[in-house]
Amino acid sequence: MGKRLKWWALVASLAAALLLGGFGCGELGKVDQGRVIAFDKVKETVTFIRDVKHDAANPDYSGAPVTFALPKDPAERGEDPKAGLRMKLDTKTREIVIYDMLTRGMAKINYTLIDQKENVGKTSPLVEGKKFPIVDKDKKAITVYSGRQKLLVTFSVPEEYLSLPANTWEAGDEVRIYYKEPGKMARFMNISKTDIFKK
């Protein structure tokens, strides 16, 4: 957690330094962070749900979706993001929060726990080399992995949810952007793909 907070502070200070030193007396830009729900590779646009807390260690992805065009300069772009609709996995209340593309809002889904394993790292044989989520319609079971929480959870949901796309249960990449104009990124960082901040 300490590294994450230091990283956020570093990014913020670097952004400020670049703004003041690299852009002269122009208008200062803004830094924003969110979880990706859609990525259009052809149009080069990213849509994400804002982190309303602006807290890299304890994000709250419940803000309104926003769409930005990626920077034209490849040097200002991180790796292409993976999209997903899972915003929160709460094992205490046994609830998953997803972004519903039809209603354009958050939906809370209560699940029935089948199995849960904690402290599961990314290199664990339980998850390494496997693609999540795993949806088993015959057993009416869904298995998700959260690298941030180090949780491997298998659960069942009401049958009507089993027909939803697989990425409903997947967490999209966490991204951080710097922009001066609404809808146009000046810099794009896929923090889920960095070595020091894995989701």
Would you state the pLDDT for residue 184? Answer: 96
CATH at 186: 2.40.50.320
Specify whether 62 is located in the same domain as 100: no
62 with 119, same domain: the answer is no
CB atoms within 10 A of CB 7: 17
Decide if 48 is inside a domain.
yes
Range of the domain at 32: 2-83+172-192
Shared domain for 90 and 33, answered yes or no, is no
Q: Both 91 and 157 in a single domain?
A: yes
Residues 40 and 77 in one domain: yes
Judge whether 198 lies within some domain.
no
Residues 48 and 78 in one domain: yes
Asked if residue 78 is part of any domain, the answer here is yes
Residue 149 near residue 186, CB atoms below 8 Å:
no
pLDDT at 58: 78
- How many H-runs (helices) and E-runs (strands) does the chain carry? 1, 12
For residue 199, tell me if it sits in a domain: no
Same domain, 153 and 90: yes
* Domain shared by 68 and 91, yes or no: no
- Does residue 100 fall inside a structural domain? yes
Indicate if 62 and 49 belong to the same structural domain: yes
pLDDT at 37: 97
Residue 128 is assigned to a structural domain of this protein = yes
Q: Terminal CA-to-CA distance of the chain, rounded, Å?
A: 12
How confident is the model at residue 3, as a pLDDT?
46
Asked whether residue 197 is domain-assigned, the answer is: no
Cα–Cα distance measured from residue 162 to residue 52, given in angstroms and rounded to the nearest whole number: 29
Nearest to 146 by CA among 84, 55, 64, 63: 84
Residue 135 is assigned to a structural domain of this protein = yes
- Are 77 and 117 in the same domain? no
The answer, as to whether pTM is greater than 0.75, is yes
Which residues of the chain are modeled with pLDDT < 70?
A: 1-27, 56, 195-199
Pair (165, 176) in one structural domain: no
Q: Are residues 13 and 47 in the same domain?
A: yes
**Taking Cα atoms as reference points, which of 2, 184, 199, 4 lies closest to residue 82?**
199
Instruction: Give how many domains the chain has, as a whole number.
Output: 2
